Amino acid sequence: MSQKVRGVVARGRGEPVVIETVVVPDPGPGEAVVMVQACGVCHTDLHYRDGAISDDFPFLLGHEAAGVVESVGDGVTNVVPGDYVVLAWRAPCGICRSCLRGRPWYCFDSANAAQPMTLEDGTALSPALGIGAFAEKTLVAAGQAVRIDPMARPEAAGLIGCGVMAGFGSAVYTGAVRLGDTVAVFGCGGVGDAAIAGAAIAGARTIIAVDLDDRKLEWARRFGATDVVNAGRVDPVEAVRELTGGFGADVVIEAVGRPETYRQAFFARDLAGTLVQVGVPDPSMRIELAMIDLFGRGGALKSSWYGDCLPSRDFPILINLYLSGRLDLDGFVTETIGMGEVEGAFARMQKGEVLRSVVTLEDQA
């Protein structure tokens, strides 16, 4: 028997999101239905609503979620009903060409639920990042549900499902920040601040936070930024160079997703330094660079998909860091809101008023 629940749907490009009735099928083989307790609002949800990711409307938004497994389909062995989980948008298949090359963190055929969730008229929904968790319940591939310590409250824990993991991993895995490195992070939203936290845990000597908003820069200090630069007031490339002995940073992380910040990040690197792009650009964006700069500055230009994480390995690590007081997940939760306030949360995100608004759903456990 399928179930009807409420969920937040983006019906068309740029249109305000609406609450709709969502039909959630019973889990088939390899699937699980999860009762969502909390789900963070990520900038990627806004990209979906604006049609910047794809045109597969209607989308069921939300993808930074913690909850409890309600039921599982045949053949599921990693979770049982009652398990407390964080949902991942990567569940490595183990057999694609990337998994076979020993690089499951890039898995090209990550598992999602095989059955669609639909609107009441049968229209199939595209769940954001294969999750769709601004909903009372959601259907996922069981491999997307990663068990974590129930001591971690859902509002904080859910955030490791996307932005925090992506940012943290962009520093420690993609950027491979090492003890004593200098690091600069462009864009201090949830993703950028998690990169700052990751760089701090990895032992970076200098961590420079760059943003246009002083409030964001203050928050960045709480996660470990040693210096802050307001790019609206000073040239951030010059500022990063000055703060790194005139050289530029060893690792620069771009967590905005815009050509101008990519360019600044590119030139804020030391020679042979690493640039990590974790911000997601709009398909229309272009960047022009002299080839001699690409060659002459050397180093590595990398993209970070989900911080190159392996959720089943890394979610428990991040939760352990949280519960032992070394990763301030609570610091990312600016406010908790109801399902009807997602559109307002997008506006506050754009105004820079929040790191994360978290949708909470009551009486679900």
Ligand X SMILES: NC(=O)c1ccc[n+]([C@@H]2O[C@H](COP(=O)([O-])OP(=O)(O)OC[C@H]3O[C@@H](n4cnc5c(N)ncnc54)[C@H](O)[C@@H]3O)[C@@H](O)[C@H]2O)c1
How far apart are CB 176 and ligand X at their closest, in Å?
16
Q: Which residue, 5 or 231, is less far from ligand X as judged by CB?
A: 231
C-alpha of 133 from chain center: 14
For residue 162, state whether it binds Zn ion (rule: CB under 5 A).
yes
Q: Which residues have CB under 8 Å from 16's CB, separation 6+?
A: 343
331 and 3 Cβ atoms separated by less than 8 Å:
no
Q: Per-residue x/- mask for Zn ion, residues 122 to 161, rule CB under 5 A?
A: ----------------------------------------
Instruction: Work out what residue 107 binds among ligand X, Zn ion, none; the CB cut-off runs from 5 to 8 Å by kind.
Output: Zn ion
C-alpha–C-alpha distance, residues 228 and 214, integer Å:
9
With the C-alpha atoms ordered 345, 348, 349, 353, is the resulting torsion angle positive or negative?
A: negative
Q: Which residue, 66 or 268, is less far from Zn ion as judged by CB?
A: 66
* Planar angle of CA 26, 29, 33, nearest 5 degrees: 40
How far apart are CB 63 and ligand X at their closest, in Å?
9
Contacts to ligand X by CB under 6 A: 42-44, 47, 162-163, 166, 186-192, 210-213, 216, 231, 255-258, 260-261, 278-280, 304-306, 349, 352
Query: DSSP letters of 258-269?
Result: -HHHHHHHHHTE
C-alpha–C-alpha distance, residues 214 and 339, integer Å:
29
Instruction: Work out what residue 280 binds among Zn ion, ligand X, none; the CB cut-off runs from 5 to 8 Å by kind.
Output: ligand X
C-beta nearest to ligand X: residue: 189
For residue 99, state whether it binds Zn ion (rule: CB under 5 A).
yes
Instruction: Work out what residue 195 binds among Zn ion, ligand X, none; the CB cut-off runs from 5 to 8 Å by kind.
Output: none
C-alpha–C-alpha distance, residues 43 and 52, integer Å:
11
Instruction: Work out what residue 190 binds among Zn ion, ligand X, none; the CB cut-off runs from 5 to 8 Å by kind.
Output: ligand X
Query: Is the preceding omega at residue 283 within 30 degrees of 0, hence cis?
Result: no
- Binders of Zn ion: how many residues, by CB under 5 A? 9
For residue 76, state whether it binds Zn ion (rule: CB under 5 A).
no
Instruction: Work out what residue 189 binds among Zn ion, ligand X, none; the CB cut-off runs from 5 to 8 Å by kind.
Output: ligand X
342 and 360 Cβ atoms separated by less than 8 Å:
no
9 and 124 Cβ atoms separated by less than 8 Å:
no
Of residues 48, 39, 41, the one with CA closest to residue 11? 48
C-alpha–C-alpha distance, residues 191 and 19, integer Å:
27
How far apart are CB 74 and ligand X at their closest, in Å?
31
Structure tokens at 126: 């595209």
How far apart are CB 44 and ligand X at their closest, in Å?
4
How far apart are CB 150 and ligand X at their closest, in Å?
25
Interface residue with Zn ion, options 5, 9, 39, 42 (CB under 5 A): 42
Beta pairing partners, 267 = none
Q: Which residue, 243 or 310, is less far from Zn ion as judged by CB?
A: 310
Report CA-CA distances (Å) from 34 to 31, 65, 83, 144, 146: 10, 10, 9, 10, 11
Burial of 233 (0-12, 13-18, 19+ CB in 10 A): exposed
Instruction: Work out what residue 60 binds among ligand X, Zn ion, none; the CB cut-off runs from 5 to 8 Å by kind.
Output: none
Instruction: Work out what residue 93 binds among ligand X, Zn ion, none; the CB cut-off runs from 5 to 8 Å by kind.
Output: Zn ion
Applying CB under 5 A, the span of 4-12, 47-55, 88-96, 198-206 interacting with Zn ion comes to 88-96
How far apart are CB 232 and ligand X at their closest, in Å?
8
